[in-house]
Structure 1
Amino acid sequence: MELWFTEKSNDSVGLTLLIKEHLYHKESKYQTIDVLESAYYGKVLVIDKVVMLTERDEFIYHELLTHVPLQYMENPLSALIIGGGDGGTAREVLKYRSVNRVVLVEIDEEVIETSKKFFPTLSFSFDDKRLEVVIEDGAKFVKETDEKFDLIIVDSTDPVGPGEVLFSSEFYKDCSSILKDSGVLTAQTESPFDLVYRPVIQNIYKNLKTGFKTVRMYLGSIPTYPFGLWSFAFASNRMDPLKEELKNPFIPDGLKYYNRELGRCVFNLPNFVKEIIDET
Structure 2
Amino acid sequence: MELWYTEKQTEHFGITAKIRETLVTEKTQFQDLAVIDTIEFGRMLVLDGMVMTTVKDEFVYHEMVTHPALFTHPNPKHVLVVGGGDGGAIREVLKHPEVEKAVLVDIDGKVIEYSRKFLPEIAGMLDDPRVEVRVNDGYMHIHEHKNTYDVVMVDSTEPVGPAVQLFERGFYQAIFEALKEDGIFVAQTDNPWFKADLIRKVQKDVKEIFPVTRLYQANIPTYPSGLWTFTMGSKKYDPLQVDETRIPELDTKYYSPSIHKAAFVLPKFVEELTK
Match of 1:173 in 2: 173
Supply the distance in 1 between the matched residues of 2:192 and 2:99 (Cα, whole angstroms): 32
Question: Helix, strand or coil: the match of 2:4?
Answer: strand
What is the DSSP-based 3-state SS (H/G/I as helix, E as strand, rest coil) of the residue aligned with 2:56?
A: coil
Deviations 1:34-59 (A, max 9, x none): 01110110000000000000100000
Amino acid at match of 1:183: G
Shift of 1:71: 1.5
* Paired residue type of 2:232: F
In 2, the alpha carbon distance for the partners of 1:132 and 1:233 equals 25
Which residue of structure 2 lines up, in the alignment, with residue 255 of structure 1? 252
Aligned mates of 1:71, 1:86 — CA distance in 2: 23
* Unpaired runs of at least 5, structure 1: none
Alignment partner of 1:155 is 2:155: yes
Q: d(CA) in 2 for partners of 1:119 and 1:52?
A: 12
Matching residue of 1:218: 216
Alignment of 1:79-118 (within 5 A): 79-118=79-118
Tell me if structure 1 keeps the 8 A contact 2:86–2:112.
yes
User: Matches of 1:22 and 1:224 in 2, distance apart?
Assistant: 18
Q: Conserved in 2, the CA contact under 8 Å of 1:71 and 1:251? A: no
Give the residue type in structure 2 aligned to 1:188: Q
Partner of 1:266: 263
Q: Secondary structure at the match of 2:190?
A: coil
Contact kept, 8 Å, 2:146 with 2:179, in 1: the verdict is no
Secondary structure in 2 matching 1:242: helix
Q: C-alpha distance in 2, partners of 1:104/1:248?
A: 28
Q: Describe the shift of the 1:147–1:136 C-alpha distance in structure 2 as closer, same or farther (beyond 3 A).
A: farther
The Cα shift of 1:250 comes to: 4.1
Taking the aligned partners of 2:57 and 2:240, their CA distance within structure 1 comes to 27
The SS at the match of 2:72 is coil
CA contact (8 A) 2:214 2:231 kept: yes
Please give the TM-score of this superposition, normalised by the length of structure 1: 0.95
Q: Distance between the aligned counterparts of 1:49 and 1:159, measured in 2?
A: 13
How far off is 1:172 after superposition? 0.5
Structure 2 CA distance for aligned equivalents of residues 243 and 43 of structure 1: 38
Q: 1:202 aligns with which of 200, 203, 209?
A: 200
- The Cα of 1:251 is off from its aligned counterpart by 4.0
With structure 2 as the length reference, what TM-score do the two structures score?
0.96
Match of 2:47 in 1: 47
What is the aligned counterpart of 1:275 among 267, 272, 275? Answer: 272
Distance in 2, matches of 1:4 and 1:256, equals 28
What is the SS of the residue equivalent to 1:126? Answer: coil
The one-letter code of the counterpart of 2:206 is L
Say whether the 8 Å CA contact 2:147–2:180 is kept in structure 1: no
Matched position secondary structure for 1:63: helix
CA distance in 1, matches of 2:259, 2:134: 33
Question: One-letter code of the match for 2:107?
Answer: I
- CA shift, 1:200, in A, is 1.6
Amino acid corresponding to residue 216 of structure 2 in structure 1: Y
Identity fraction in percent: 41
**Do structure 1's residue 183 and structure 2's residue 183 form an aligned pair?**
yes
* Contact kept? 2:146, 2:177, Cα under 8 Å: no
5+ residue gaps in structure 2? Answer: none
1:121 aligns with 2:130: no
Distance apart, 1:201 and its partner CA:
1.6
Q: Residue 64 of structure 1 aligns with which residue?
A: 64
- Check whether the contact 1:172–1:210 (CA below 8 A) recurs between aligned residues: no
- How far apart, in 2, do the equivalents of 1:110 and 1:229 lie? 28
- The AA in structure 1 aligned to 2:71 is Q
Q: Deviations over 1:146-181 (max 9, x none)?
A: 451111000000111100111111110110112122
Distance 1:168 1:18 in 2: 36
**What is the aligned-residue RMSD (CA, Å)?**
1.4
